[in-house]
Amino acid sequence: MGRLTLGYFLRRFSIFLVTIWLAATLIWIIPRLAPGDPITAMVGRMIRQAGYVENSDIIIEGWRERFGLNDSLPVQYVRYLGNLVRMDFGYSLAYFPTTVGEIVGRALPWTVGLLLVAVTITFFLGNFLGALLAWRGTPKLVKYLIPVGMIFTSIPSILAAIFLLYIFAFFLDWFPLTGAYKAGMTPSLSIEFITSVIHHGTLPALSVVLVSFGYWALGMRGMMITVEGEDYMHLARAKGLNPLYVLYRYMIRNAILPQVTAFAITLGTLVSGQVLVEYIFAYQGMGNVIFSALRNQDFPVIQGTSFILILMTALAVLIIDLIYPLIDPRISYERS
């Protein structure tokens, strides 16, 4: 088993920092390449939405001053990075005295909670089904049914969410249409509240599970087929080991490792998919915050929420990368 060396840790950590820096820089630079400045564009959109905005040039000038857009670009850039490092995203424009940090702090636990539940279910279910698909001992019927279920894999979570919402919440009325818990309830640790949260969270979680389990199943199937061809499989069978023991100890444990790497790579897509699902279900997580911020043209909130999500994803990838060699003894922390 490899030990976590300082060199490996530093290398991974610097990749993490570069990722964050690059994302932050792209967010900052690309809009500035476009003609016009963001504040004018924002007020322009407000005018388009509301028909007329009083004193729009004074607003523009005020905001330019507030955001320091009259300074030179390098000064602005350094100040922007400084604010990000201090996690200072400023105030929400739509709910003025509230800071972006407060808004994010309220929404983040819901997103993280839902994401963790959905992703855990997906990962285990997908890998289990994928293993069954490639295993010799699986009944024929199961082998035909799994691919049918996998058709959902290709559909974006947002489309699945719309269908689920219509069928189970609108048509059958089994689940609530919106929100993360019953309106008017105060969050507490009572049974009633927890049931309400589960009741509200089922459909959003299901939309994420439904569209992504097949991805894991496919990858797992591919790896299992590769493992199936190895010599040690013949040996295990020749020894007369219990087929279930062979399935678990010899096949799944070897096949699942690349899946963990794939997990780190797809995390960004997962987070994005989840954000869109939250918006469809009006679930009070980051997705909903982003959507209402888009409606209100609340730019600091859009930037803050997106940056936190980018940071979260990069952090998760860093953690996966750091623990990966612990679960796969063949990978060492040293550079090959």
Partner 1 sequence: MATTNTSPDQRAVDSALALPITPKRMGRFNRWDTPWLNRKLLTGAAIVGAILLIGIFGRLFWDTDLAFTASSPLNLPPPGFVNSRGQEGTWAHPLGTENSGRDMLALMIVGAPNSFMVGVVAATVGMTVGVILGFSAGFIGGRLDDFIRLISDVTITIPTLMVLIVIQALLPVIELSTMALLIAAFAWPSPTRLIRSQVLTMRESGYVQMAKLSGTSTFSIMFKEILPNLLPYLAASFIGNATGAILAAVGLETLGLGPQRVPTLGGTIYFAISGAALLRNMWWWWALPTLLLALMFIGLLLINLGLDEVANPRLRQASR
Cα(178)–Cα(169) distance, integer angstroms: 9
Q: How far is the CB of 133 from partner 1 (least distance, A)?
A: 9
Half-sphere exposure of 226 (CA within 13 A, CB side): 13
Encoded one letter per residue, x for contact with partner 1 by CB under 8 A and - for no contact, window 146-165 reads -----x-xxxx-xx--xx-x
List beta partners, residue 125. Answer: none
Which member of 166, 232, 245, 248 binds partner 1 (CB under 8 A)? 166
Q: Is 75 exposed, middle or buried (0-12, 13-18, 19+ CB in 10 A)?
A: exposed
Which member of 114, 119, 134, 251 binds partner 1 (CB under 8 A)? 134
Q: How far is the CB of 187 from partner 1 (least distance, A)?
A: 26
Encoded one letter per residue, x for contact with partner 1 by CB under 8 A and - for no contact, window 263-302 reads -xxxxxx-xx--xx--xx---------xx--xx---x--x
Q: Is 165 exposed, middle or buried (0-12, 13-18, 19+ CB in 10 A)?
A: buried
Q: How far is the CB of 152 from partner 1 (least distance, A)?
A: 9
Which member of 146, 164, 223, 251 binds partner 1 (CB under 8 A)? 223
Q: Segment contacting partner 1 (CB under 8 A): 95-103, 106-114, 211-219, 326-334?
A: 211-219
Q: Does residue number 5 form part of the binding site for partner 1 (CB under 8 A)?
A: no
Q: How far is the CB of 194 from partner 1 (least distance, A)?
A: 27
Q: Does residue number 59 form part of the binding site for partner 1 (CB under 8 A)?
A: no
Q: Which two tokens stand for residue 48?
A: 């388009």
Tell me the Ramachandran region of residue 286: left when phi exceeds 0, alpha when psi lies from -120 to 50, beta otherwise.
Answer: alpha
**What type of residue is 331?**
I
